[in-house]
């Protein structure tokens, strides 16, 4: 994570999960439990579906997701972090069953019917996210303000600007390939 966009882009281009940090909001969470929230496409998952949406629109995106509902999404730059957090949560439960003090959330613009592929992908990866919000394009800020993550990762500048008013936010740039 960095405040320097060139460094973040170079790391992403090298295959390293990186995010451009936004200024910290004045009410940043300070709790005993670590909370991390992720967007889906181009963050946890690859940008494959996002590219279809950007190039061909929502109908083509939904059709693609229906046709591929049973096919897990490819990993995105922060998939390994989520896998590691999930592992920690599963390995370090207290004897009375309480979870390790890490809580995760998926806050994505996806909605029905595109949610099915996300759910099937997380199951295929053997990951249980504590909270999942399929926002259907609605502003994510209110959900993020309620969840109070210590960090939120998204790939869309517009979403990051709004989120950075309420929670610490990092923008994950799209990996650029050399031509």
Q: Which of 39, 47, 154, 155 is catalytic?
A: 39
Alpha carbon distance 177, 3 (integer Å):
22
Q: How far apart are CA 40 and CA 109, in angstroms?
A: 8
Rounded to the nearest angstrom, the gap between the alpha carbon of residue 131 and the centroid of all alpha carbons in its chain is 12
What is the Cα–Cα distance from 149 to 19, expressed in whole angstroms?
Answer: 16
Question: Cα separation of 64 and 52, whole Å?
Answer: 8
Give the relative orientation of helices 58-67 and 48-56 as an angle to the nearest 10 degrees: 140
39 is annotated as an active-site residue: yes
Tokens matching residue 140: 């994510």
Which is nearest to 47 in space by CA: 162, 176, 149, 168?
176
If DSSP codes are grouped into helix, strand and coil, which group holds residue 96?
A: coil
Active site residues: 39
């Amino acid at each position: 994570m960095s405040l320097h966009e060139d460094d973040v882009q170079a790391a992403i281009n090298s295959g390293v999960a990186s995010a451009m940090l936004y200024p910290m909001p004045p009410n940043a969470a300070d709790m005993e439990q670590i909370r991390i929230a992720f967007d889906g496409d181009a963050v946890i998952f690859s940008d494959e579906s996002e590219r279809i949406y950007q190039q061909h629109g929502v109908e083509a995106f939904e059709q693609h997701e229906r046709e591929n509902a049973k096919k897990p999404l490819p990993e995105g730059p922060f998939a390994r972090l989520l896998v590691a957090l999930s592992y920690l949560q599963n390995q370090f439960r207290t004897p009375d069953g309480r979870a390790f003090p890490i809580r995760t959330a998926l806050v994505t613009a996806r909605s029905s019917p595109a949610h099915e592929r996300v759910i099937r992908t997380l199951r295929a990866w053997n990951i249980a996210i504590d909270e999942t919000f399929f926002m259907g394009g609605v502003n994510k800020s209110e959900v993020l303000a309620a969840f109070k993550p210590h960090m939120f990762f998204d790939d869309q500048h517009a979403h990051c600007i709004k989120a950075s008013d309420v929670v610490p936010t990092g923008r994950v740039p799209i990996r650029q390939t050399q031509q």
